[in-house]
Amino acid sequence: MRGSGDILFENAAQVLTLRGDAAPRRGLAMNDLGILEGASILVRDGKIQWVGDDLGEVQDELADADVIDCRSKVLMPGLVDSHTHLVWAGHRRDELELRLAGADYEAIFAAGGGILSSVRSTRGASDDALYEQSLRRIQRMRRCGTTTFEIKSGYGLDLETERKQLRVARRLGAEGFRIKTTCLAAHAVPEESKGSQAARAAFVQEICERILPAITEEGLADFCDVFCDRGAFTISEAREVLTAASALGLDLRVHANEFGHTGGAVLAAEMGARSADHLLHLDAHETELLRETGVVATLLPGTSLVLGKPFADGRALVDGGLAVAVASDCNPGSCAFENLSMVLAIACYGCKLSPAEAVCAVTHNAAASLGVSEQVGRIDRGLAADLLLLETDDYRDLVYHAGSPLIDEVFVAGEALSRR
């Protein structure tokens, strides 16, 4: 039967289908984008109905379809940003200037800046003010091609503000953004808990016994994350938080190995986390543990660029058989980048991924790390019609012409963003 809202995307130069099963892609499989040339896509009721190069297969279903001419253009899945902190208040432009003048991120953080600066601003913002700032941010991100978002809390470090951040994230989801949420109460030790080891331990206990149960009871989070690294939370503290979260039914993510071989990657493997993120420092043993346990290695090259840090060795991770994702890490301090298609290109130049691997990393593998690869991240029958139409006949121009406005249109569930 023909649907009244059928759309035919006709005769694209390339359709990047990424066809296959829902599992994250590893190694050489990340280079196979399932490219069809001169192909078309039929969308019905916001979902992909058919993909192919022979319109005769669906000729009887096309009479009432709206036709979008895609000649000389690329169709690909909408981008999936699997690591963002996009709900925050205020700004940290002053820290940008400090870092450009040579100040170290860790030193700024230790002096009460960094994350704790954003905590103060976010605690002081009303729900509506926080929502309005975050809405403008996520709208810009979607115009740059991202159609699915993971959003973390972590600028509250107390129950009420963590709850406020996650409420705003859920509110954005109710407004039509495709969102998964993460409680990151273990993002930093708040100023009021820095006085002693006992105060620090009490904060970890607060997360485990009060914040996580309350967040879970209200259905505000899908995941729990911990910043397990130098200057943040120790392995034992992070394990305590992740164990409590797992017992409450939350899936796990870990900020790991950004500042050194500090145990986060090993812990992510031990706990069966969905994703270990950052991974600037990773040895052969840590790599093997992540591969064996199926943890997705999520690279955040924008942060390396902003902080002047080394890039994660994405080439070694792909060659080592890991499933690699790439995300923006959009946050108020260490990387306020909102354009994931640009970060895709940085992953090629900095982390040495191929263009195909980078596309897989910001679509299917990112979706798999969020548990939504049965819904988005590929172009196949039954998946959401979250699509990008590129003003080029070769997807590699996303890297070759990095930062150029190549996205001609963004479609969310088949609806053009320009018509919303």
Helix (H) or strand (E) holding 143: helix 127-143
Average pLDDT over residues 43-70: 93
Span 329-358, pLDDT tens digits:
999 999 999 999 999 999 999 999 999 999
Average pLDDT over residues 163-187: 97
Span 114-127, pLDDT tens digits:
888 899 999 999 99
Give the side-chain half-sphere CA count within 13 A for 352. 10
Q: Give residue for tokens 């902080």.
A: 307
Percent of the chain, pLDDT > 90?
89
Span 398-413, pLDDT tens digits:
999 999 999 999 999 9
Using CA atoms, how far apart are residues 41 and 75, in angstroms rounded to an integer? 9
pLDDT for position 32: 98
Average pLDDT over residues 249-268: 97
Span 271-312, pLDDT tens digits:
999 999 999 999 999 999 999 999 999 999 999 999 999 999
For each of the domains in the chain, give its residue range(s) and CATH number, in order of start. 7-77+377-419 (2.30.40.10), 80-369 (3.20.20.140)
Average pLDDT over residues 315-341: 97
Using CA atoms, how far apart are residues 304 and 228, in angstroms rounded to an integer? 18
pLDDT for position 16: 98
Q: Is the pLDDT of residue 107 over 80?
A: no
pLDDT for position 112: 65
pLDDT band at 3 (very low <50, low <70, confident <90, very high): very low
Q: Is the pLDDT of residue 420 over 80?
A: no
Lowest-confidence region among 92-106, 124-138, 194-208, 348-362: 92-106
The distance in angstroms from the start CA to the end CA of the chain is: 27
Of 290, 377, 398, 299, the C-alpha closest to 77 is 377
pLDDT for position 94: 81
Using CA atoms, how far apart are residues 416 and 173, in angstroms rounded to an integer? 18
To the nearest whole number, what is the mean pLDDT of the chain?
Answer: 95
pLDDT for position 419: 77
pLDDT band at 111 (very low <50, low <70, confident <90, very high): low
Higher pLDDT, 103 or 8: 8
Give the length of the chain. Answer: 420
**Token pair listed for 323:** 């499933």
What is the C-alpha R_g of the chain? Answer: 21
pLDDT for position 2: 40
Phi, psi dihedral angles at 42 (to 5 degrees):
-105, 125
